[in-house]
Every structure is written in structure tokens, then in C-alpha cells.
Amino acid sequence: MPKLYAYTDGACSGNPGPGGWGALLVAREGDTVVKTRELSGGEAETTNNRMELLAAITALETLSKGAAVTVVTDSSYVKDGITKWIHSWKKSDWKKGKVKNIDLWQRLDAATARHDVTWEWVKGHAGHPENEKADELARAGMAPFKK
């Protein structure tokens, strides 16, 4: 059975400003890549954090059925938010609306619940091939919105 990976990244020109997100889905059998899928999109006025979240959300929502997947992100905000902070946010009823990007955190929480997700952090812009590809996809998603 192939192992699934989702490499995700967000980009923003200005913060807020035009932004994009990208995700590279990879299925591997051992060291062999058996299938890939590239996803990207963007918005005219957004923040980098929102784009990082949308990359992970879209990657997970794209998987049609429950799967074991490793999400690889260069965003500590996303990784720490979904693995650490979200538990206290939910216990405190999302701090009564004070959590930034609550709409996306709730969407990511729901998308994560459908799968068996492992979260990994990698240093961005450090030569990690799949992370660099996700960054390229995020910039491509942003391109139509840049003036």
C-alpha cells in the first residue's frame, strides 16, 4: 500500500496582500513515487497564515476517503496550531471568537478528523525538493492576483 504525503506551503506578497497556496500530494511505495498531484490557488487580499492553512486544508479535503497521510509543512503556525493549541481553543469555546483564522482552523480540524494524519515540520527555503515545489505552486497560485 502506498504511503501518502502532502507537502504544503503558502505565500503572500505583503501581509495582507495577494497570496497563494500550494500542495504537492505524493504517493510512494518505498523510495518510488507512484503518483503525484499538484494543487494551487490564491486570493487577492489575504495573509500568509491563511494561505498556509488553506494549503493543508485543501490537501486533506482533496483526499476522497479516509487515509493515513503525512502532512509536511514549513509553517510552525500550522503544525503547532493543529497539534498543540487547538485542544485548548476547543476547550475554551475558541476563546469566544478571539482565535485568529477561526474559520480555517475549524475547517482544518474537520479535515484532519477524516484521516489518520501525522504532521511534520521542515525548514522552508532550505533545499527540500518537495517543499520547494509546494512553494513554487503557492507562488503560481498567487500570480493572478499580483498587480
Find out whether 50 and 3 touch, Cβ atoms under 8 Å.
no
| Residue 93, burial from CB neighbour count under 10 angstroms (0-12, 13-18, 19+) | exposed
| Residue 97, burial from CB neighbour count under 10 angstroms (0-12, 13-18, 19+) | exposed
Dihedral sign computed on CA atoms, order 49, 19, 130, 35: positive
Share of the chain above pLDDT 70, in %: 100
Confidence band (pLDDT; 50, 70, 90) for 147?
confident
Alpha helices in the chain (DSSP H): 48-62, 76-80, 86-91, 102-113, 129-142
**What is the average pLDDT across 78-94?**
94
pTM: 0.95
Domains in the chain: ranges and CATH: 3-145 (3.30.420.10)
Confidence band (pLDDT; 50, 70, 90) for 97?
confident
Cis bond upstream, residue 16 (ω within 30): yes
Active-site residue set: 9-10, 52, 74, 125, 135
